Amino acid sequence: MDMSVNTATAATALEEICNAQPFTTRFMVCNLLTGESIGRGEDEETPSASTRKTSIMMAALKAVHEGRLDLDEQIVYEQRFSEEVASGMFRYLTPGIVISLRDAITGMMVLSDNVCTKMVFERLQLSEVDSYCKSIGMSGTHHRFLIPPLALSPDHTLGSVTTTTARDQVFLLQTILDAQTSPEAAELLGSSMELCAYALQTLKNQILRYAIPSRLPFGTLVAHKGGTGKRGRMNAGIVYRDGAPFYIIAAFTDQVPQAMADGTPGYTVSLETIGRLSRVCWDQFQQ
């Protein structure tokens, strides 16, 4: 299918943004107004970092739907949950706090808290989450570890971490979005429409506002999940405009240097790159 003029203009601008940096940027964007998509390395395996948590959430909700898990289950925060954890706030809190599985999922998603991730993941098998992704069509996503080790080298291999593709993340977000009105989409996810509504709202509750939302007008609603990896930064989300879904974008930077030539930290430029990609979509897709 030939691109519209606006989509072709956007594709050129997105390519220029990626080409301007010395690191790799893989992305896929989907214009929800026209159904057109643009990609760059969208089928290439790339470190997922915490973007993987959206699929962990959906695998957990499948287990809830099947009656194997209960969102109201009470979980005690134990000291062991804070070991080898480098994200979130729970690691600084006093052990003994009791939260629900629902709250653990919230912490895993809106603050990327890895204590909460451990709480959720302990109720699932790693192979179960990996198989779940394959079963719904995310063939390029491979869950390999519960929590990557803190000492992981910046030049680690792909086999050392959970990996995904930009296309897989767009597909997952699109299916969650479709499940708000489609029983068939909810069934594909192994869940109910009510649980899929909870999942989408949890993504909307995201507190961290870097990358995709960073260059958008203040208050723009973005249902998204970001990631911090040793090799780069990543973010995948649904951007809303005037109360309606506008576009989906999944962007993954890789092989990002610790410092750029001018001394700027590489992660700063990688996050800014994702923000610029998102802004192009915001400006071009509306016309």
Q: What is the pLDDT of residues 228-268, one digit of tens each?
A: 998 999 999 999 999 999 999 999 999 999 999 999 999 99
How high is the pLDDT of residue 2? 66
How high is the pLDDT of residue 287? 59
The full set of domains in the chain, from first to last, is 5-51+140-146+155-285 (3.40.710.10)
CB 274 within 8 A of CB 211: yes
DSSP 87: S
How high is the pLDDT of residue 150? 72
How high is the pLDDT of residue 175? 98
How high is the pLDDT of residue 6? 86
CB 284 within 8 A of CB 24: no
pLDDT per position in the chain (287 positions), as tens?
567 878 899 999 999 999 999 999 999 999 999 999 999 999 999 999 999 999 999 999 999 999 999 999 999 999 999 988 888 899 999 999 999 999 999 999 999 999 999 999 999 999 999 999 999 999 999 999 877 777 777 888 888 899 999 999 999 999 999 999 999 999 999 999 999 999 999 999 999 889 999 999 999 999 999 999 989 999 999 999 999 999 999 999 999 999 999 999 999 999 999 999 999 999 999 75
Q: What is the pLDDT of residues 116-134, one digit of tens each?
A: 999 999 999 999 999 999 9
Which residue type does 45 have? E
How high is the pLDDT of residue 159? 81
DSSP 129-170: HHHHHHHHT-TT-B---SS--TT--TT--GGGS-EE-HHHHH
Alpha-helical (H) ranges within 157-265 are 166-178, 183-188, 193-204
How high is the pLDDT of residue 154? 82
| Torsion angle (degrees, nearest 10) of CA 83, 85, 91, 95 | -30
Residue in the structure block whose two tokens are 């809106």: 110
CB 27 within 8 A of CB 14: yes
